[in-house]
Amino acid sequence: MGTISKALTLLDTLSLMQSEAGLTEIAKACDLDKATARRFLVELEKHGFVEQLAESRKYRIGSAPVRLGRIREACYPFLRTAMPFVKRLVEEVDETVHLSEFTGGRLSTVHVEDSTKAHRVFVAVGTLLPFHATASGLAFISSCPAADIEAAISAPLQSYTDYTLTDPASFRQSIEQTQADGYSVSRQGLEAGVISTSAAILTPGARPVGCITIAAPLVRADAGKVREHGLAAASTARRISDAFFGADRQVRTVPQSRRTN
Amino acid sequence: MGTISKALTLLDTLSLMQSEAGLTEIAKACDLDKATARRFLVELEKHGFVEQLAESRKYRIGSAPVRLGRIREACYPFLRTAMPFVKRLVEEVDETVHLSEFTGGRLSTVHVEDSTKAHRVFVAVGTLLPFHATASGLAFISSCPAADIEAAISAPLQSYTDYTLTDPASFRQSIEQTQADGYSVSRQGLEAGVISTSAAILTPGARPVGCITIAAPLVRADAGKVREHGLAAASTARRISDAFFGADRQVRTVPQSRRTN
DNA sequence: GCAATCGGTTCACTATTCAAACCGACGCTT
DNA sequence: AAGCGTCGGTTTGAATAGTGAACCGATTGC
């Protein structure tokens, strides 16, 4: 593993620690030598990727990623890219489809497209989606590194309905099922009478950035429908990912003064 | 300069290039060897900080900074941190105060707090603030690296009123004045009858992240008032910066015995 | 078909990183 | 107040990783 990878892993690890962390703690968490961790932190700090608090001497994530993230979002906005695919999916399955995004350690709904049916599921933009109680959460966590999965499983599992997965073992089994299928299903996990199917939208590096989820009334969703929704969601997720990361979007050809020295 | 610094500089440089860039172009821009630039890009890509487009082979900034930036914003939100200071400033000067933030290459208004006076200036959240035509823009650009300043000066300078600075020379002079004063002034640059004073909110690394701006009707703002507003804005900007980046950032108290670059 | 340039690779040379011991400071217990 | 554990931070030479000039094959323009 190269130096840069290690430094970025440190940054990642630091971002996952809630609040600030001390040098020794960081070094331990990243499995780095204290001296090395310190040098990394100093270099990262120079560029604003981490900050050190003067009095406590602790480190926390800096504001540089905010700046870079905004530039990225301004050039290649996730929502605008994904929207047409969400609409297409609604037309295909005629059920409410919502798009979620991982934000500050939490998965939340960023866009909802309703089905045309009178009897349909309503989802509010901004809804937080627990990993264990929603199809979106399941799809998301199932694509995360093993460490995150374990953390999610061992966290307290709040119950929302009589059907919420509150048992770590069944949560784990659902994750495994999701990984095998390529999509997740949550039967009344968050709200009674609703069955949701979801697939994670992945970066080229296979990190999940969000989910595309179909929410249908229980009465309309037999096993066949659920599978159909799952496959449709997975296929849409892949297409969003391609559009967002892969396929050349050719935003604008750089005017580019005559270089060629 | 260490490997990590070089890699982060590359990331920074890439973020400043609008659209995608090729390997050779990036290497040249960062003054790195092609081989080195490539290794950096590969490592950065592994962590999602850059992406390579499959067919054009070009690189662009990735989605990892978005994720990190969101975590940072969730833990230490700029707006929530700055708001009380904005309110305090309104009480102090009793004129409309607005807070702007640099977002994806543009400066825009993110919050407005009105004065209690009936005759006051109205500013809409979301307003884009051109560098040459607003106090906010002037304050912001004046705290940027020289290269950005030159780029702003040589960009086309759109006229909004009869008083807008459309001449590069006077624009440059205003920037120099701003740097000398620690605050900026725009007399009717964007809208007739309004005089604004602004100060940039800086990171510990002296990068501007946004501005705090006082907008007053021209009739109420004599030279003394303008100076008073300028100093109040500068002082508030500093306090926001302190609150946001660590209430206690001073010169290192640690004996930095070894001066590693 | 030549020249220039592209993205990407190789490999001898060299700068960085590692690990462990160390320092002074702080906080706790006795 | 002495003893202990831990903190952030530093030093050391041996081990390891990064570096960059030259190179490769593929495109592109003339």
The confidence band for A52, taking pLDDT boundaries of 50, 70 and 90, is confident
Q: What are the residue boundaries of the structural domains of chain A, listed by start?
A: 3-67, 77-246
A73: amino acid identity, one letter: E
B72 contacts: CB under 8 Å, gap ≥ 6: A15, A61, A62, A63, A65, A66
User: Given this model, what pLDDT does residue A56 score?
Assistant: 77
Nearest CA of chain B to the CA of A120: how many Å? 32
Q: Are B50 and B44 in contact (CB under 8 A)?
A: yes
User: Given this model, what pLDDT does residue B160 score?
Assistant: 93
Nearest nucleotide (CA of B6 to C1'): D18
Give me the CATH topology for the region A77-246.
Beta-Lactamase (3.30.450)
A111-115, B101-105, B133-137, B186-190: least confidently modelled range: B101-105
User: Given this model, what pLDDT does residue A136 score?
Assistant: 96
B99: amino acid identity, one letter: L
CB contact under 8 A, A62 and B70: no
The confidence band for A255, taking pLDDT boundaries of 50, 70 and 90, is very low
- d(Cα A192, Cα A195) in Å, to the nearest integer? 8
Nucleotides of D under 7 A from a protein CB: 6-12, 17-22
Q: How large is the average pLDDT for residues B59-71? A: 85
Phi, psi values for residue A172, rounded to 5°? -60, -40
User: Given this model, what pLDDT does residue A151 score?
Assistant: 86
Tell which of A12, A68, A78 to mutate to test the B interface (max B CBs under 10 Å).
Answer: A68
Q: Are A138 and A178 in contact (CB under 8 A)?
A: yes
Quickly list DSSP for A62-124: -SHHHHHHHHHHHHS-HHHHHHHHHHHHHHHH-SEEEEEEEETTEEEEEEEE--S-SS-----
Residue closest to sugar C1' of D11 by CA: A35
Residue closest to sugar C1' of C18 by CA: A33
Nearest CA of chain A to the CA of B163: how many Å? 31
The stretches of B31-156 forming alpha helices (DSSP H) are: 34-46, 64-75, 78-93, 135-142, 146-154
Domain B3-67 has CATH 3.20.20.80: no
Of these ranges, A93-107, A158-172, B107-121, the one predicted with the greatest mean pLDDT is A158-172
Q: How large is the average pLDDT for residues A109-134? A: 87
The confidence band for A212, taking pLDDT boundaries of 50, 70 and 90, is very high
Tell me the pLDDT tens digit for each residue of A130-179: 999 999 999 999 998 888 898 899 988 999 999 999 999 999 999 999 99
The confidence band for A33, taking pLDDT boundaries of 50, 70 and 90, is confident
Q: Is B9 helix (H, G, I), strand (E, B) or coil?
A: helix
Q: How far is the CA of B20 from the C1' of C4 (A)?
A: 22
Domain B76-245 has CATH 3.30.450.40: yes
Q: How large is the average pLDDT for residues A13-38? A: 85
Total H helices, total E strands in chain A:
9, 7
